[in-house]
Amino acid sequence: MNLPSPVTITPPPIPQANGQPKTYPPFTLTSLDMTIMDSSAQRTCVARFARFQKPLLLWHGDAYDEAGDYTQADAEARALELLGEDIQASLQDLFLVNRRLSSQ
């Protein structure tokens, strides 16, 4: 899925066995590797992006029913809609934050 403009992402630090945080350099994305997961039983469709731990809920419940037989293009358009104008901040929110590091 192509992004409208490049975004630079700064991964959060990850604690190591010694308790010290390991930091990673920022990276710039011009596209996202998106996997769609659909559950008709749960009436839910989510997108997962490579490098990010949290899924993005595309449709659920009645909205899932209304989406019907969506296409890949529909899912990509919905993902961009949900990521909003500040795609960088939205993607940053898809990282898991380690509570041990965030409370220090």
pLDDT tens per residue, range 32-64: 999 999 999 999 999 999 999 999 999 999 999
Contacts 24+ apart (CB under 8 A), 44-52: 45/70, 45/75, 47/75, 47/79, 49/91, 49/94, 51/9, 51/11, 51/27, 52/91, 52/94, 52/95
What residue numbers bound the domain in which 49 lies?
A: 2-102
Number of domains in the chain: 1
* pLDDT for the residue numbered 58: 98
* pLDDT for the residue numbered 97: 66
> What pTM was estimated for this model as a whole?
0.84
